[in-house]
Amino acid sequence: MASRRQFISQFASGLAGTLAAPSSVIGANERLRLGLIGAGERGIQLLREALACGGVEPAAVADVYTRRLEAARAAAPGAKLYRDPRALLGDSSIDAVLIATPQHLHGAQCAAALEAGKHVYVEKVMAFTLEDARLIRSALSHKRRCVLQVGHQVCSSGLMEDALSFLASGKVGKITAIHAHMFRNTPHGKPPWVRPVYSDMTPEALDWAQFLGNAPKRDFDPHRYANWRLYWDYSGGNVFESLSQQLAFWYKALNLEIPAAAAMTGGVFLWKDGREVPDTMSVSFQHSEQLLFSWDSGFGNSQPGSSEEVLGTDGAILRSQQIRYLPQKVNQPDGVEVLGRARTEPNAHMRNFLDSIRSGREPACPFELGYRVSVACRMAVESYLRQRTVRWDAEHEQIL
């Protein structure tokens, strides 16, 4: 905790004397000036989504790698370019920031952006550790008028509207289990998540200290930078990448609390390429709502894809690309299958973020939901690393 607090203090100290006043609600006809921290593939995609919504201006981009800054010129011509995100946050003219950096940097950067009075869209997961989550909560409590949207896009989808409708009908009954899956496959010799290491990834072009942040100090290693998703120092593996999205959907729909207990098993069974995070895994969450949420994932076969089955005494809700309700005839003899019909608007989650800034309303995935999902995912990872079941101490907010 102390080291991470020291890091956020050091990060914020670079902004001394230049922090913006707390953000206020912005009028419907005013243009929002956006800053982007993390100009990789995902960051540029988020920026383009924001531009497609209209009423925004790309004002600044920050990234630790010069190649990405140069590439950002095409997506944000005229935007100021920074190697250090502290300089971007020190620009008082910027209203909101999009954060799309490696997961271990989310906490410090999100907290610093909030302290600078910026509205924040932070990619999932919101917080890498419990300390990160507390830092964000503290910063948000100081800047209550700032909007924080966590990048769980499923929370703004039409499937959510359909799920809530199915649940409100009372035809699902008592839910005791959710079975979730996320499986994928790649061609032989092309391991998932592995990206090229370019010749210009040198200490001159890549700010290694900024990339490490509060992670353990290591000598310069462009492979770890390019392939950060493979290492526990910077990544929560597919738990943080995929399970977090599936949890966010049902934690929102069912208002589930942080699990009472979590157990995760698995290993690197297929891709023996030096990765630390598992490529095959199984997670089980026991919830105080007397519900078991289980999740299986692997990178060696694409069946059964990404889906969830919510199992109730009177019916089931199945979600994949579509969502549908299936009755349990034993308790709903006259029940019929219902296919979801709600439409997901283009760039719905980003539009919800921008609309929330203008209206002052709570966004679709606020801190509180992001917190529950972050803690659940951290519990799964801690179970795997400790090789035992872990439990949540709600009173002291600790993983035991």
Tens digits of per-residue pLDDT, 332-352?
999 999 999 999 999 999 999
CATH number, residue 119:
3.40.50.720
- Claim to verify: residue 103 and residue 127 sit in the same structural domain: yes
- 293 and 167, same domain (yes or no): yes
Q: What is the 3-state secondary structure (H, E, C) of the chain?
A: CHHHHHHHHHHHHCCCCCCCCCCCCCCCCCCEEEEEECCCHHHHHHHHHHHHHCCEEEEEEECCEHHHHHHHHHHCCCCEEECCHHHHHCCCCCCEEEECCCHHHHHHHHHHHHHCCCEEEECCCCCCCHHHHHHHHHHHHHCCCCCEEECCHHHHCHHHHHHHHHHHCCCCCCEEEEEEEEECCCCCCCCCCCCCCCCCCCCCCECHHHHHCCCCCCCCCHHHHHCHHHCCCCCCHHHHHHHHHHHHHHHHHHCCCCCCEEEEEEECCCCCCCCCCCCEEEEEEEECCCEEEEEEEECCCCCCCEEEEEEECCEEEEECCCEEEEECCCCCCCCCCEECCCCCCCCHHHHHHHHHHHHCCCCCCCHHHHHHHHHHHHHHHHHHHHCCCEEEECCCCEEC
Same domain as 99, residue 247: no
Q: Give pLDDT, residue 385.
A: 98
Do 28 and 144 reside in the same domain of the chain?
yes
Q: Same domain for 186 and 298?
A: yes
97 and 144 co-located in one domain: yes
Give the pLDDT of residue 224: 98
For the domain that residue 381 is a member of, what is the CATH number? 3.30.360.10
In this structure, the answer to whether residues 244 and 360 fall within a common structural domain is no
pTM of the model as a whole? 0.91
202 part of a folded domain: no
Sort strands 261-267 and 175-183 into parallel, antiparallel or unpaired: unpaired
Check residue 30 and give its pLDDT. 81
Domain residues for 120? 2-154+351-367
239, part of any domain: yes
The domain total for the chain is: 2
**Is residue 110 domain-resident?**
yes
| Domain match, 266 and 143 both | no
**Residue 252 maps to a domain:** yes
Does residue 35 belong to any structural domain of this protein?
Answer: yes
The verdict on residue 224 lying in a domain is: no
- 148, 287: one domain: no
Residue 226 inside a domain? The answer is no
Q: Do 390 and 301 share a structural domain?
A: yes
Please indicate, yes or no, whether residues 337 and 363 belong to a single structural domain of this protein: no
In a domain? residue 214: no
Verify that 106 and 163 share a domain, yes or no.
no
Q: State the pLDDT at residue 360.
A: 92
The list of the chain residues with pLDDT below 70 reads: 1-29
